[in-house]
Each structure stands twice: as C-alpha cells, then as structure tokens.
Structure 1
Amino acid sequence: MSGKITCYLDCVSPYSYFALIYLDRYREALKSYNVDIDIVPVFLGGINVGSGNKPPWTLQAKADYSRYDSGRAKKYFGVPNVKTPAFFPILSLLPQRALVVIKAQHPGLFMSTFRSFFLEMWENGIDLSKPELLVQVLSKTFSDAQARELLEKANAPDWKQKLNDNTKEALDRGAFGCPWYWVINSNGQEEPFFGSDRFHYMWEYLGLPWKDIELPAAGRAKI
C-alpha cells in the first residue's frame, strides 16, 4: 500500500507541536507501509484570516476549556513542560519563513529544527519572532554564519512569497487552523483531516492495520 500525508504546521500552535511529535514518532512505521510525510510550514494567522476562523482564546468558553484539554494533551504526547509563554501570541512570520528556507536548503535538518522551534518557544519561553532570539536558536543547529544567512533569507521576497504560497495551498485545501492535513490513500483518493487527535481516522483512511484504544473490564489483566 502507499499514501501521503501533507501536514501544515505553525510553531505558534501548540497542537501543531503535538502533531509533529506524533508523526515523527511513527515516521518509520508509516514508511514501512510506503506512506510519505511532508511537513509544510504555514502562517496560521493567514489561515485564520483567510478562512474567517478566530483563535480559540478569543472565545471565553473555549479559553476556559483549553486549560483542561491542553493539560491532557501535554500528558498524552509526553511534553509536560509545555506552557503558554507570557508573550503569546506572536506574529510567527519570521520563524515560519526561516523554516521554509531550511526545508529547501537543509532538508536533513528541517524536522529537528522545527521541533527545536516548538521546544524553545513552548517549553523554554523564547520569543522566536524577535530576530536576535531566533538567530540564537538557529545557532544551536547551524554555524553562526549560517544562522545569520538563514535570517537574512527569511526576510527576502522570494521566501516570503513561498510561505504565502504554502498558506494559500492549505486554504485552498479547506484549512481553518493548524495542524491541517491533506491525505492521499493508495486508491488515489484525497481528504482533509484536522487536529492532533484524529490519527486513528487517518490510519483507517490509509488502510493501515491500526489498533484501537481498549478498555479492559475490571479484574482483567492489563495487556
């Protein structure tokens, strides 16, 4: 069997962090079934504007619920130190453009850099929208010269346009938030998926032999 998962993510979204962790965890298993993963940096602010959606914290009921849901998600995905930084939300254009450059020019370091962006922002409280802080984070993976070059390219018109194009592609595929997925199965059928808790639907659509969550009856041995 074969298939492809195109996943649209923004470092400003903690649920994008959870999605990246999960897909990275099962990358080799998916590869064994000839399912490719393509991670695409997008600008979530542009998706919200383009789709007419509003961030969840702008609705009080969603904001109140989020503290429960995010706590459960942090535990499930194994990132208990995730916390909302004082400067949240940020304008994520600069770090997302940098990721577009890295994906094109340093593909072998793209996934690890994207994960580091999430970690630095959501666990270490680093404001990646500030150029001087972003270059410091980049310097942990790249040389100082490379980090400065990446920052310079992230401000260049061509790379700005590439992020715009990625965002438009997601919108054209129905996106109203992140993480957003466009999935092609072995029959050539294509469908969208949304969120960090819909992977079982995705595996079913791809025809993968996944295992459902089981609740053993009281008194039965745990499996």
Structure 2
Amino acid sequence: MSGQITCYLDCVSPYSYFALVYLEKHREVLKSHGVSIDIVPVFLGGINVGSGNKPPWTLPAKASYSTYDSARAKAYFGLPNIKTPSFFPILSLLPQRSLIYIKSQHPTLFIPTFISYFHCMWEQGIDLSVPELLATVLLKIYDEAQTKQIMEAANSPEVKKQLNDNTKEALDHGAFGCPWYWVRNKRGEEEPFFGSDRFHYMWEYLGLPWKDMELPMGEAKAKI
C-alpha cells in the first residue's frame, strides 16, 4: 500500500457518521490507488478531556452555527433523516467498547455494525448506552450467543484497556475531536486531519488524482 488513512471515530459524533459513510463509499477507489483505511473506535469524551476541548453544544456561538452546518452536511452526505436524539449526549463507552471486541472477533461485520450504531442512534433515536437496547440492536446482526459474548466482552478489562489505548493514540496524534485522521502518504510522511469536510486536502496530501469543485459561469455572463 502506498498510503494509509487511520480514522478515529465515536458513535456519539454525527460528523463521525458522515466520515464513515464517505470513506466506505470511496474505499474501493482508494484501494485502487494503494490507499488503505483503518477505522478505530475511540472515546470522544476522553479526547475532549485529554485535549481540553469543549463540545460544540456547550458554546452558544458554536451551538447556533451547528444548526446550519449540520443541515448542510446532512444534505451533502445523503443522510437527511439524522436528528439529535432526546437523550443526547450519551456516555458512549459501552457501544464503543463493544466495537473494539467486534473488530477483533468479527472483522467482516465491524463496519456494518458501526454504521448500524450510527443509524440506530442518529436516525431511529435508540440510546445505545442502555445495555438492553444495545443488545437488541446487536441481535439484528448476530445470534444470541454472539450477542451475549459481545456484551460481556464490552465490560472486560482487556477491552476497556484497548479503548483507552485507542483514545490515547488519537490524543498522541493531536486529536481534539472526532472524526480525527492520521494519514501516511507514499513518501512515508504523516499528518493529522480533522472533520468531515477536509477530504480534498487529504487526497492532495496522498498524491491522488482528484477533481476540485467547479463554478460554471452564470447564464447572463455566458451570453455576452
């Protein structure tokens, strides 16, 4: 592989949802250019504390702007049904820990499960921090025995440590929010990227062929 995108995500972040959908949409194209993707579950609450950042909804100006920005993002990424659930924000430790175990034991179902978590929480209003509700969501993908294993493993010391390690790794790479990316290009250079609207910078850094946005001339000027 000539490039690597390591993407740190938390299901509590709608912008992580946008990022995951976008990256998965382009996974095969990136692979054709020798760029691999690694999706890494982290705890956004730990990143905020570790970096000293504050969630947007705690700052009035950011909260006000988010109303406009989220509407634009939902339209752009094709996820118009996203809405802030009544229980937001949740403590996302349980679902994020479950994803740690799923990634290691059910790798082919890891991404579908992560996307399902986003869909269930941000489009269906299901509180994934409630064990019984999380188990119900898992049962749509896994059998009863597997679901039981996942729920038990999510509370194991090994999985808890791995989520902490992933979160620390993101912080060590400069993270102050999600989605956060650590990108290595074909020259072996590495840089961080943040957000769901910086992919054009990322493609440039990776040396990929890409097309910039075009703004056509208006009809009135074109007729002159």
TM-score bracket for this pair, using the shorter chain length: over 0.9
TM-score normalised to the size of structure 2?
0.97
Quick check: 1:82 aligned with 2:82?
Answer: yes
Deviations 1:96-132 (A, max 9, x none): 0000000001000000000000000000000000000
* Alignment correspondent of 2:107: 107
For residues 74 and 143 of structure 1, what CA distance do their matches in structure 2 show? 32
Deviation of the 1:148 alpha carbon: 1.4
For residues 133 and 145 of structure 2, what CA distance do their matches in structure 1 show? 15
The 5-angstrom pairing of residues 108-187 of structure 1 reads 108-187=108-187
For residues 133 and 148 of structure 1, what CA distance do their matches in structure 2 show? 13
- The amino acid across from 2:206 in the alignment is L
The 5-angstrom pairing of residues 39-118 of structure 1 reads 39-118=39-118
* Alignment correspondent of 1:207: 207
Query: Once superposed, which parts of structure 1, at least 4 consecutive aligned residues long, lie more than 3 Å away?
Result: none
Corresponding residue pairs, total? 221
Structure 1 SS opposite 2:212: coil
* Alignment correspondent of 1:31: 31
Structure 1 SS opposite 2:90: coil
Segments of 5+ residues of structure 2 without an aligned counterpart are none
- The amino acid across from 2:157 in the alignment is P
How large is the RMSD of aligned CA atoms in angstroms? 1.1
Structure 1 SS opposite 2:176: coil
TM-score normalised to the size of structure 1?
0.98
Segments of 5+ residues of structure 1 without an aligned counterpart are none
* Alignment correspondent of 1:192: 192
Sequence identity of aligned pairs in percent? 74
For residues 214 and 118 of structure 1, what CA distance do their matches in structure 2 show? 32
Deviation of the 1:218 alpha carbon: 1.4
For residues 151 and 83 of structure 2, what CA distance do their matches in structure 1 show? 26
Structure 2 SS opposite 1:192: strand
- The amino acid across from 2:201 in the alignment is Y
For residues 139 and 164 of structure 1, what CA distance do their matches in structure 2 show? 26
* Alignment correspondent of 2:4: 4
Structure 1 SS opposite 2:29: helix
- The amino acid across from 1:198 in the alignment is R
- The amino acid across from 1:31 in the alignment is K
- The amino acid across from 1:43 in the alignment is F
